[in-house]
């Protein structure tokens, strides 16, 4: 700044203007009463909070315009607390602004850089210390220390090893096996093809001997969508068509993008849509991705019926379900 010519000279701090409360004792007294009133309102807020806590039951609702029906207990507690806190703050600030001295004060800064001599001494001290430790000369110590420190960092990593098992085959397998019955979810009833009307969609699970054994880990891989179309509506390769049964086609419900449940089915367009990131899959073309960030179709399950007409899986999924991972295609 000093190198530049100042076109307009610094006029300096503007003159201090006194407030009314500085000059008029009446105004100051009035301000005091205002501050006290605010603190008083705050106290009333606490009273409201106590009354709401003790006396308003939690199943009373009051109608308030715009906001609709509100729980009176919750509203009383909240408003009481809000009033109690807000008016303490407002009072304190009003106090500061009207009654505390508001003269602006100038304080000098000091440059952070130390005087040259100190800086030189400091650098010398560091150098001396480094030299006397021999860190520069004795490279064996330096290197072995570096190696030891680096290696010691391995121990926390190693000690965290038991956070979980190593990825195993379960990562790529589901409970769908050859001959597994498709059952309703909820309900766990076996399904006949005739249970499903054309145009309808259903979420199903593989049958468990005891449905209580089905945990979230299983659901996260097994969830299946059944969709029934007219067979003529399909536009499938012959091998994919063979995996359907009387127009019923089965896809993994777990999105191939990030694993959300692909829960939205649009009947008119026959599209499946994942609500998380809007990946859109075309049911008539084996869940081909037609929009959105998913890179792969939803895996299709090969289904058929048993002798009594109940839907079963003919084969397990031919690929892992859910989001991609590094070794996904490795057997």
Q: Which of residues 36-55 bind another protein (CB under 8 A)?
A: 53
204-223: buried (b, 16+ CB within 10 Å) or exposed (e) per residue?
Answer: bbbbbeeeeebeeeeeebbb
| Residue owning tokens 């005091």 | 32
Residue 207 Cβ vs another protein, minimum distance, rounded to whole Å: 15
Residue 23 Cβ vs another protein, minimum distance, rounded to whole Å: 19
201 is an interface residue for another protein by CB under 8 A:
no
72 is an interface residue for another protein by CB under 8 A:
no
Stretch binding another protein (CB under 8 A), from 120-128, 143-151, 219-227, 310-318: 219-227
**From CA 28, how far away is CA 205, in angstroms rounded?**
76
Cβ distance to another protein smaller for residue 104 or 239: 104
DSSP 316: -
CA neighbor of 247 nearest in space, from 255, 256, 258, 236: 236
122 is an interface residue for another protein by CB under 8 A:
no
Of 46, 70, 184, 304, the residue at the interface with another protein (CB under 8 A) is 70
| Residue owning tokens 């593989």 | 206
74 is an interface residue for another protein by CB under 8 A:
yes
Stretch binding another protein (CB under 8 A), from 123-131, 242-250, 251-259, 306-314: 251-259
210 is an interface residue for another protein by CB under 8 A:
no
**From CA 165, how far away is CA 310, in angstroms rounded?**
38
Count residues binding another protein (CB under 8 A).
98
Count of positions (residues) in the chain:
331
Residues 6+ apart with CB under 8 A from 6: none
Of 106, 149, 154, 158, the residue at the interface with another protein (CB under 8 A) is 106
| Residue owning tokens 């809007």 | 278
Structure tokens at 143: 């290197």
């Amino acid at each position: 700044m000093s190198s530049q010519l100042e076109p307009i000279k610094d006029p300096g701090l503007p003159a201090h203007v006194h407030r009314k409360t500085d000059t008029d004792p009446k105004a100051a007294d009035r301000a005091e009463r205002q501050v006290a009133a605010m603190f008083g309102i705050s106290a009333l807020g606490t009273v409201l909070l106590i009354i709401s806590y003790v006396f308003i039951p939690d199943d009373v609702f009051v109608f308030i315009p715009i906001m609709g029906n509100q729980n009176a207990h919750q509203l009383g507690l909240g408003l009481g607390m809000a009033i109690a806190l807000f008016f303490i703050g407002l009072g304190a600030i009003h106090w500061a602004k009207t009654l505390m001295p508001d003269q602006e004060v100038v304080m000098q800064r000091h440059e952070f850089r130390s005087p040259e001599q100190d800086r030189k001494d400091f650098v010398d001290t560091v150098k001396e210390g480094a030299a006397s430790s021999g860190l520069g000369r004795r490279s064996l110590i330096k290197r072995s220390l570096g190696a030891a420190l680096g290696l010691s960092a391995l121990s926390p990593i190693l000690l965290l090893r038991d956070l979980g098992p190593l990825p195993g085959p379960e990562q790529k397998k589901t409970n769908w096996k050859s001959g597994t019955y498709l059952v309703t979810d909820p309900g766990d009833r076996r399904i006949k093809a005739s249970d499903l009307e054309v145009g309808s969609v259903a979420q199903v699970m593989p049958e468990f001997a005891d449905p209580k054994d089905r945990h979230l880990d299983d659901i996260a891989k097994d969830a299946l969508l059944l969709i029934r179309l007219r067979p003529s509506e399909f536009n499938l390769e012959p091998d994919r068509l063979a995996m359907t049964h009387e127009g019923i086609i089965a896809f993994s419900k777990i999105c191939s993008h990030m694993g959300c449940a692909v829960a939205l089915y649009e009947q008119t367009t026959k599209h499946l849509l994942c609500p998380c990131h809007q990946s859109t899959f075309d049911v008539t073309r084996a869940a081909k991705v037609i929009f959105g960030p998913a890179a792969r179709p939803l895996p299709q399950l090969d289904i058929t019926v048993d002798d009594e007409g109940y839907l079963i899986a003919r084969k397990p999924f031919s690929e892992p379900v859910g989001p991609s991972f590094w070794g996904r295609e490795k057997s």
